[in-house]
Structure 1
Amino acid sequence: MKKNPWKDLKRGVLFGTCFAVLVLVFTAVPGQAQQTIVSLSTPELVEGDTVYATVNIENVKDLDAGQFDLLFNSDALRVVGVENGSIRETEIPVQWREADSKKVRVIFNLEGVTGVNGSGQLARIGFEVIGDGESGFRISDGLLGDTEAKSIDTDWRVAEAGGVDADFRGVEAEGTQRATPGFEIVFTLAGLTTAMYLARSEQR
């Protein structure tokens, strides 16, 4: 009985496409589960005390550099200093300056380190409580870069979108979602699977 090559081709394409879609789905899920999170631990304010706001980080991979601004209520708080953070056993050396009376900018670069993984603290910002009122703490202009100078997909908690310091624009900006295999990879997998299917059919 003569085989129908078009029928075999359609079966192969369908099988290959389904296989490629499954690969796409299973490779996308782990990336979503391990998204990097930056959050802020804020203290209770008591006038006359020195308090610290801690910038925490979770699930980071290949961290190399970063920056963020911490906004605050200048009627209640005055910046007194910024302490280095740490992830596992690696210190995060920070540089900082007061961008204005209501904002402190923190920048760090892990020179000589081949990327840091895990969870910890990016920095601790110290304040003197000088008056009554809410802290007004808010993170803005946050950006993390990896060892390939690409932006790390990050969920900035208590964050406000904004621009990026010109000193840190060398880091390539990407979308807010971590990249997953694109259509080129899907079609490549589909084509490869189809070719394997047809080759086996000819051997029967």
Structure 2
Amino acid sequence: MTGNISVVLVEDNPLHAQRYRDNLALDPLLGLVGEFALAADAIAGIEALAPDVVLVDLGLPDGNGLDVVRHVRTHLPQAAVMVVSIFGDEPSLLAAIEAGATGYLLKDTGASDFNQNIHALRAGGSPISPSLARHLLRRLQTPVPKAPAVSPLSRRETAILDAIAQGSSVVEIGALLHISPLTVKTHVQNIYRKLEARSRQHAVYLARSRGLLSP
């Protein structure tokens, strides 16, 4: 059987292979020109068939379908490769893309979608099952940076709290900042009030948890 788009199937499961044959038979523009159940046979015989599209299962009895994908990319660069697999995990998808696959469908894809995706693949598209496309989107999306925390503390209060976190006493903090211990205590009370803290340690904990102090 031949059509405008020649297709080679690399699939070892007889039930799946028959379903793909039935799908392709529904479209007069798609022609199945060869089938292989083993990776070694596909690698040895696929070049002579010179297909437009190669459909490849990943789990083959004698190896990984990715070997077939790599072979096609190297020896038949004009052919488009679609992985058709039960594996819907991100590592399998990324490995297939890195090997040279330009499409990736799950095996539960319906007949009409299956054939449409082959046409899209041959036309230069990269059909990917929606659940798999989400893996790619998650991987490529840049995390939205969190807005920096707005501190209720003044610079001096932050400096005092940082010194407290380092274990300095009121007297030591006063000497460091050139203010009296009484002024330091007033600032500490303001820190308690603004953070709703019960003690120095509690104030340090609250400030760190809110990103107001470095860990």
- Normalised to the residue count of structure 1, the TM-score between the two structures is 0.24
Choose between structure 1 and 2 for higher RCO, CA contacts under 8 A separated by at least 6 residues: 1
Structure whose residues are more often strand by fraction: 1
Q: Which has the higher helix share?
A: 2
